[in-house]
Chains A and B, each alone.
Chain A
């Protein structure tokens, strides 16, 4: 998607290390989702952010929405092999009702 840019495209980290994935929008964000996916499987909802400055945490995963920068970051603390997968950000940024868009995903590998 050109509207949502994720970085990096892929990431390999050693177990126990911290990491950050970024999602930047070219348009105004009206809210943003983070999903996780094991390749070939369905998407698992992680969290949704709606307000500028909002920060949410789930276990060792924290996400923050910076509306001024039209950016969200996903931070994983003390990564584990179970964190491996594809992380996707998604948002409704189009004024056409219902039109959602997703980033291309970040593939995370955690080495034991």
Chain B
């Protein structure tokens, strides 16, 4: 009963490096989401995916890349990390999305990223 797991939980990197945050869910939920959480900004949606091979931008997508080749995985890549990307990143999944809200969002424990 692993649910949704994120890795790594903590990461320190340097400006300009590529970083990938992994997200894996065991429920076969269609929808997956990446958020970042910063003081004073709450949770902001980076990217989301409605199904394998279907992704779309959220509120703050610049500097991030996602892919979803398999339903259960939704990695988030920072191609060239910047200090402004220091944040806590949360992955979430949901069985459904869209205008009819019938399922809650299930969150991972978060990945704390520091860019020096």
Contact = CB atoms under 8 A, between A and B. Distances in A.
Interface string A11-52: 000000000000000000011110100001111010010100
Nearest to B106: A45
B97 interface: yes
Contacts of A95: 99
Residue in B101, B102, B112 whose Cβ sees the most chain A Cβ within 10 Å:
B101
Interface residues of A, number: 29
A30 B101 contact: yes
B42 A92 contact: no
Contact of A97 (B44, B99, B110): B99
Interface residues of B, number: 31
Residue in B97, B106, B108 whose Cβ sees the most chain A Cβ within 10 Å:
B97
B45 interface: yes
Interface stretch (A55-63, A69-77, A102-110): A102-110
A91 B48 contact: no
B59 A101 contact: yes
